[in-house]
Chain A
Amino acid sequence: DIQMTQSPSTLSASVGDRVTITCRASQSISSWLAWYQQKPGKAPHLLIYKASSLESGVPSTFSGSGSGTEFTLTISSLQPDDFATYYCQQYNSFPYTFGQGTKLEIK
Chain B
Amino acid sequence: QLQLQESGPGLVKPSETLSLTCTVSGGSISSSSYYGGWIRQPPGKGLEWIGSIYYSGSTYYNPSLKGRVTISIDTSKSQFSLNLSAVTAADTAVYYCARHQYGIGFDNWGQGTLVTVSS
**Interface residues, chain A, with chain B CB atoms under 8 Å away:** 1, 32, 34, 36, 42-46, 49-50, 55, 87, 89, 91, 94-101
Contacts and interface: CB of A to CB of B under 8 A. Distances in A.
Contact of A43 (B37, B46, B96, B103): B96
Interface string B42-77: 000011110010000000111110000000000000
Contacts of B107: 46, 49, 55
Contacts of B111: 42-43
A34 B105 contact: yes
A91 to B, nearest CB: 6
Contacts, number: 59
A59 B38 CA distance: 27
* A interface majority secondary structure: loop
B110 interface: yes
Interface string B75-119: 000000000000000000000101010011111011110000000
B51 to A, nearest CB: 8
Contacts of B105: 34, 46, 49, 89, 91
A76 to B, nearest CB: 22
Contacts of A46: 104-107
Nearest to B105: A34
A79 to B, nearest CB: 22
10 contacts: A1-B63, A32-B103, A34-B104, A34-B106, A36-B106, A49-B104, A89-B49, A95-B61, A100-B46, A101-B46
B27 to A, nearest CB: 14
A44 B47 contact: yes
A52 B119 CA distance: 46
Contacts of B47: 36, 44, 87, 89, 98, 101
A98 B46 contact: yes
- Residue among A42, A46, A98 facing the most chain B CB atoms (10 A cut-off): A46
Contacts of A43: 96, 98, 109-112
Contacts of B48: 98
